[in-house]
Amino acid sequence: MDKDDLEKRAGEILGALLEVESPTGKEGSLLQVLQRELPERGFSLRLQPVPEAPGNLIAQRGKGRVLLATHLDTVPAWGHPHAHLPQKVEGEIWGRGAIDAKGQIAALILASELSQAPVSVALFCDEEGEGRGSKAFSPPEGVREALVLEPTGMRIGVAQAGSVEVSIRIRGVSAHGAMASSGRNAIEVFFRAWEEASRLPFLIRGHPLFPPLCPNLGKITGGIDPQVVPEECEALADFPVPPGRDPQKVFDALREVFEKYGGSVRLRDLEPPWEMDQRDEGLLRKLQEAFRRVTGQEAKTWGMPAWTDAASLRQKGIPTLVFGLGDLALAHTPRERVRLAEVVQLALVLAELMEMEAD
């Protein structure tokens, strides 16, 4: 196939996937589609049960030594104008999951059409939830390494930030809005504490592999009316943790800051960071070579600032890196989209990697 034919085929595959709604917990419809499509490409399938979740789809064609993995679920539409009615505009396709992660699945499917080499695939449920799918995963026999497909902008993720997700509550003292100085505005107190927490050393120093690491204040509520001083403020926030930092110590530091301002902090989730070691060097070299053969360029390395299923696979002792199409900043937003040329490029790299593994 020439470039235009490949992009047309990529658009057909991805468009069909984007039409299927599969938010976390409701991946069943997408599972059914893939259970019909993958056997036509020579895969044998099994559905791996996952407690309180729809299950993982394990697909094998022969015995691939590198596991190619990504996830089935997406976040909700959250205002995306073409969430499940994908639209192609000037070489791009818009839709919820275009990069996170149905674009990755589309590239994987296209790669399996371009190469008949053995390959092992895992499509996890609940990645956007609590990560139950990859945490419950049992690898197929013969798998030695894994590549998790996530939006890295075609850079190789050789490290991943951890995270500390917390709920924060600040108590104030109410007063009439015209007598604000007689009260204690819980929202204002919260932001004073937030500014101090945002200057903690682990955030200021950052890490050379990562884009600037910033906490995300995802939700804040408080107050009832401009004429009443807010007596309570509640917030949900996520703090990234670079490699080399202990997430438990990060949580302790956050709690100390907010308690100093009369607040309380509850831990919602804690995930450790990771960075590649000697076990990963073989996979890194193979992926770099596959990228070089397809593009004629050297692959760049990167630090993945978000949690991915790679964390679970590495905890199981499987050397794992992260790689995939798309700009992570667009994921979860109404602007989520991908260039079809990038879907093709990822497919070609994956097909080359499959062929290299078959040698």
The CATH number covering residue 93 comes to: 3.40.630.10
Helix H or strand E encompassing 175: none
Mean pLDDT of the 247-255 span: 96
Buried b or exposed e, range 67-77, using 16+ CB within 10 angstroms: bbbbbbbbbee
Q: Which of 271, 296, 321 is the last residue of a domain?
A: 271
pLDDT tens for 83-137 read: 999 999 999 999 999 999 999 999 999 999 999 999 999 999 999 999 999 999 9
Omega of the bond prior to 69 within 30 degrees of 0, cis?
Answer: no
138 and 168: one domain? no
pLDDT tens for 288-307 read: 999 999 999 999 999 999 99
140 and 80: one domain? yes
Range of the domain at 76: 3-160+274-358
User: Using CA atoms, how far apart are residues 328 and 335, in angstroms rounded to an integer?
Assistant: 11
Looking from the CA of 137 toward its CB, the CA atoms found within 13 Å total 35
Q: Read off the pTM.
A: 0.93
Residue 359 confidence (pLDDT) above 70: no
Question: Which of these, 53, 46, 8, 54, lies nearest to 30 by C-alpha position?
Answer: 54
pLDDT tens for 49-80 read: 999 999 999 999 998 899 999 999 999 999 99
Q: Which of 229, 250, 271 is the last residue of a domain?
A: 271
Calculate the alpha carbon distances from 270 to 67, 239, 274, 300, 303 in Å. 26, 10, 13, 29, 18
pLDDT tens for 161-172 read: 999 999 999 999
Sign of CA dihedral 314, 348, 37, 332: positive
Number of domains the chain contains: 2
User: Using CA atoms, how far apart are residues 16 and 102, in angstroms rounded to an integer?
Assistant: 10
257 and 325: one domain? no
212 and 152: one domain? no
Tokens of 280: 């990963």
Buried b or exposed e, range 176-210, using 16+ CB within 10 angstroms: eeeeeeebbbbbbbbbebbeebeebebbeeebebb
Q: How many residues does the chain have?
A: 359
Matching residue, tokens 């020439």: 2
Assign residue 260 the CATH number of its domain: 3.30.70.360
Name the average pLDDT for the chain: 95
Q: Return the pLDDT at 186.
A: 97
Tokens of 251: 């949580």
Those residues with Cβ within 8 angstroms of residue 347's Cβ, 6 or more apart along the chain or in another chain: 6, 10, 106, 107, 108, 110, 111, 114
What share of the chain in percent tops pLDDT 90?
Answer: 92
177 and 189: one domain? yes
Tokens of 336: 């989520």
